[in-house]
Amino acid sequence: MVGEGSLFLNHLLMIGPSYDQNLFFKKSVNYFWGYMKDADTCSSGHFPCYEGTNMMNQRLCWVVGGSVFVSVRIISRYKQELYMQQQAIPVTLYSKSVLLAEPRGFCAGVDRAIEIVERSLAVYGAPVYVRHEIVHNRYVVQGLKDKGALFVEEVDDVPDGALLIFSAHGVSQAVRKRADGRGLRLIDATCPLVTKVHLELLRHYQNGDQVILVGHAGHPEVEGTMGQAPVGAVLLVATPADVALLQVNDPERVAFVTQTTLSIDDTADVIEALRARFPHLKGPKREDICYATSNRQRATKALAASSDVVLVIGSENSSNSNRLREVAERSGATAYLIDGVEDLDPCWFSAHDRVGITAGASAPEVLVEQVVAWLHARGYAEPELISVGKESVNFGLPEQLR
């Protein structure tokens, strides 16, 4: 059988680069796998195969659990010509690799918000009410529901005298006034970095500046931030094209703030357009995009540079998780946003050796561990770390819970 495999691979290697390689190899590998899948062993490490050395294009064979697997990779991103060799050579047996980004997962604001809900349940007992999802992660929200938290979208959905927690995304002044008017017991889980943006916006507004918010319409953080000033006082932009359409009363009295979970690169483009249009533009002394968003995007760029597929663990309504998927794609990797291991599709990995994993700021580490275990059960090696630094930020709890 090894001889047959050698002849077959030699035949593959005679195909010139002008051939329709993608179509050919899809069919060829299916055929080759068809009569090699029953192989008992390939323990000698000298199975006939072709291995690219200084080229991105390569044909690899490896052994997992006593079965022979063949991976054919035609990578065109560097547009290198494939030089075929009509020979069978020994091949090193490679494990499929898993790379983990660092930092990843929970940030200080998310840790604080979840602890606020858990501590409130312990101190005041169930139920406690939370306006909007405390953080945008399905696993976290379900876990808190199981402990006795009830999530609502409007203050009016909360019974008189109940305890209401504001989510990490923050709320408008109108929501606060409505809750105060109801006489509800309130605990604020707004991320301190979101509160910082609220205070910046209010200061600019009180100084008579036209305030522009860079952010995504409909996101609860954006609604809360715009709601720090009267309705209509804050203008919202998301792209450089939006900047061109702005109408302001005094071009020399313009200031901006940003949502904390945006793409660093996209936001830089919008701010550049704002500065080009309004030369006297005022902005924050330090960028409003939070440290965790920035760090996770930097880590994802490094991860994507070494990965064929990047898995971003996070929920669909998580802004920062969606930005990580976009960053990975722009960095050249195929990327998928998943809530957890139940979303994985084995077909995603049929032609890839290197799988990178990161997690949005609202995704717990247990979900990462489950994905790593799923890959390990399918022949992937123990994970390696791709680190761009560590984080040591902590935020204190509200006075009611200290």
Which of the four pLDDT bands, split at 50, 70 and 90, describes residue 351?
Answer: low
Same domain for 375 and 295, yes or no, is: yes
Residue 3 pLDDT greater than 70, yes or no: no
Q: Which of 172, 190, 208 is the last residue of a domain?
A: 190
Report the pLDDT averaged over residues 159-170.
96
Which of the four pLDDT bands, split at 50, 70 and 90, describes residue 73?
Answer: very low
Same domain for 303 and 226, yes or no, is: no
Residue 393 lies in a domain: no
Q: Which of 190, 205, 232 is the last residue of a domain?
A: 190
Which of the four pLDDT bands, split at 50, 70 and 90, describes residue 237?
Answer: very high
Residue 398 lies in a domain: no
- Name the DSSP letter for residue 399: G
Same domain for 184 and 200, yes or no, is: no
Domain span at 329: 100-105+291-387
Q: What is the pLDDT of residues 288-338, one digit of tens each?
A: 999 999 999 999 999 999 999 999 999 999 999 999 999 999 999 999 999
Same domain for 304 and 381, yes or no, is: yes
CATH number at residue 146: 3.40.50.11270
∠ at Cα 333 (331, 107), nearest 5°?
A: 70
Residue 338 lies in a domain: yes
Catalytic residue list contains 221: yes
Predicted local confidence at residue 87, as pLDDT: 40
Catalytic one among 102, 133, 200, 221? Answer: 221
Q: What is the pLDDT of residues 355-387, one digit of tens each?
A: 999 999 999 999 999 999 999 999 999 999 999
Predicted local confidence at residue 286, as pLDDT: 81
What φ, ψ does residue 365 adopt, rounded to 5°? -65, -25
* Amino acid residing at 283: G
Alpha carbon of residue 362 to chain centroid = 10
CA atoms within 13 A of residue 283's CA, in its CB half-sphere: 19
Cβ burial 142-156 (10 Å sphere, 16+ → b, else e): ebbeeeebbbeeebe
Nearest to 215 by CA among 197, 190, 202: 197
> Do the strands 67-73 and 58-64 form a parallel or antiparallel pair, or are they unpaired?
antiparallel
User: Given CA atoms 289, 293, 295, 300 in this order, what sign does their dihedral have?
Assistant: negative
Predicted local confidence at residue 402, as pLDDT: 87
Higher pLDDT pick, 65 / 259: 259
CATH number at residue 255: 3.40.1010.20
Q: Which of 220, 246, 277 is the last residue of a domain?
A: 277
Nearest to 360 by CA among 321, 309, 303, 302: 321
Place of tokens 């006795």: 148
Residue 213 lies in a domain: yes
Predicted local confidence at residue 236, as pLDDT: 98
Domain count, the chain: 4
Same domain for 88 and 164, yes or no, is: no
Q: What is the pLDDT of residues 7-48, one digit of tens each?
A: 334 333 333 343 344 443 333 333 333 333 333 333 333 333
Higher pLDDT pick, 13 / 114: 114
Same domain for 6 and 89, yes or no, is: yes
Which of the four pLDDT bands, split at 50, 70 and 90, describes residue 285?
Answer: confident
Residue 376 lies in a domain: yes
Which of the four pLDDT bands, split at 50, 70 and 90, describes residue 350?
Answer: confident
Same domain for 305 and 270, yes or no, is: no
Report residue 312 as tokens: 């971003």
